[in-house]
Amino acid sequence: MSRKIQNRNLFVSKKSKSPRFQGYLLGLMLLICLFYASIFLLPVVPKDANITDAPKYKIKIKPQSSLASIAEQVREQGLHSNPFFFQLGARAIFVGSKLKPGTYLLQTEASLGKVLLQITRGDRVRESIAIIPGMTIWQLRDTVDSHPALSHQTIRMSSKELLQTLNLNYPGLEGLFMPDTYIFDPDDTDINIYRRASQAMEKTLNQEWGQKDLQLPLQSPYELLILASIVEKETGRSSDREKIAAVLINRLQKGMPLQTDPTVIYGIGPRFDRNLRKADLRKDSPYNTYMNKGLPPTPIAMPSRESIIASAHPVKSNALYFVAKGDGSSHFSTTLHEHENAVDRYQRKSTTKTNQIQ
C-alpha cells in the first residue's frame, strides 16, 4: 500500500515585525539624531561678544554649583539655552557631573555641545600674580591692591587686621608670604592670595627648621626667616647664597654686629632714595645692624625658598666679611685686613657704589 506523502514545512517562519513598529523605531532614531544634532549644531551663544578685547562671550560659573544651578546661571548670563534642554544635553553627552566652575570665554555662536565640552575640560580664564623674592610687604600690598582681576577685600585693612584675618601670630606681615607665581580665577579674593602665600611660607619654614644644622645660633623658625630675608637682599649671585649665610651666622656666633646695608635701608622705609649715606648708618633704629648686635626685629623682605635653605644649611666657612665685586658676585674674607684689601680692589677704586659689610 502506497503512502501519500504530503509536503509539510518543518520550520515555521517567524512573522516579520509590523510596519507600524518599524515606523515607530525609525521615528525614534530620527528624533535621537535630531536631538544630538541640535546639541552640536544649533548656536546658543549670542553672536555679539560681551567683552571689548576679544571676539568672545564671557560667562562665569560659581563654585560648587549643581547642574541645575549652572543651567540657570548661563541662561541668566545671556545664553540662548532653556535650562531643561541644557541639563538634558549635558546628561546626553555624559558630562552632567563633570562641569567645572570658573570664568569662560566662549566662541560666539557656539553650540551647546561645544560649550559643555569646554566647561568639562575646564578650559577657563586664569589670572596670575607674582610675589618676587626680595619684595617688601609694602611693595607686595601695592601689587595686590592694584591687580585688576582680584576682588579686593584687604585694601583698607591694617597690618594687624590682616594678620588676624589670616590667623597669623607674628609682629608684622613682612617676610610671611612665599615668593612664587600664584594662579587664580578672575574675581578671586585678594585674601585667598595672601592665605595661599602665607601657608606656603609656613610649610617651607617649618620643614627647613626641622632639618636645619644643629649648631645654628637661632632660637625659632621666625629667626630663620629673618636671617633668610637678609641673605635674600645681600645675594647678587645665587652661588654665593650659602656663603653669605655662613658669614652672617659666623658673626652672630662671635657676637659681632651684622653690619648689613639692606637692614638699614629697610629701616628707612619706602622713602629711601637709593642713596645710602653715612648719616643713615649712624642713625639708631632697630634695623641698624651697624649699631645693634643680633638680628633685626622682623624680616626685611620676602625670602625665597633658596635663601631659607641656605640659611638653614650654610657652608662650612671661617669668613667674617664679604664685599660686592661689581659683577653680582662677592669676595669673602676671614680677616679684616684681607677684607680692606678687597674693598680697595673692588669698591674704592670703582665709581660704582655697591654694598659692603665691614
Same domain, 152 and 265: no
pLDDT of residue 352: 46
Of 86, 121, 156, at which residue does a domain stop? 121
pLDDT > 70? residue 350: no
Q: Residue 8: what pLDDT?
A: 53
Q: Which of the residue ranges 8-17, 46-55, 327-336, 346-355 would you say has the lowest mean pLDDT? A: 8-17
Mean pLDDT lowest for which of 23-32, 159-168, 212-221, 301-310?
Answer: 23-32
- Model confidence band, residue 276 (pLDDT cutoffs 50, 70, 90): confident
Same-domain status, 264 and 329: yes
Query: Which residues lie below 8 Å from residue 212, measured CB to CB, with a gap of 6+?
Result: 218, 224, 312, 313
pLDDT of residue 16: 56
In a domain, 22, yes or no: no
Q: For residue 355, what pLDDT band results from cuts at 50, 70 and 90?
A: very low
More confident residue, 277 or 44: 44
Q: What is the pLDDT of residue 290?
A: 94
103 and 37 fall within a common domain: yes
pLDDT at 280 over 60: yes
135-172: pLDDT as tens digits: 999 999 999 999 999 999 999 999 999 999 999 999 99
Is residue 334 assigned to a domain? yes
The domain in which residue 144 lies consists of: 127-206
* Per-residue pLDDT at 326: 86
Looking at the structure, do residues 247 and 327 belong to the same domain, yes or no?
yes
For 277-287, what is the mean pLDDT? 89
Q: What is the pTM for the complete model shown?
A: 0.81
Q: Is residue 11 part of a domain?
A: no
- Asked whether residue 192 falls in the same domain as residue 301, the answer is no
Mean of the pLDDT values across residues 37-43?
A: 95
- CATH no. for residue 82? 3.30.1490.480
**The pLDDT of residue 65 is above 80:** yes
The arithmetic mean of pLDDT across residues 106-121, rounded, is: 97
Indicate whether 14 belongs to any domain.
no
The total domain count for the chain is: 3
Q: State yes or no: pLDDT of 358 exceeds 70.
A: no
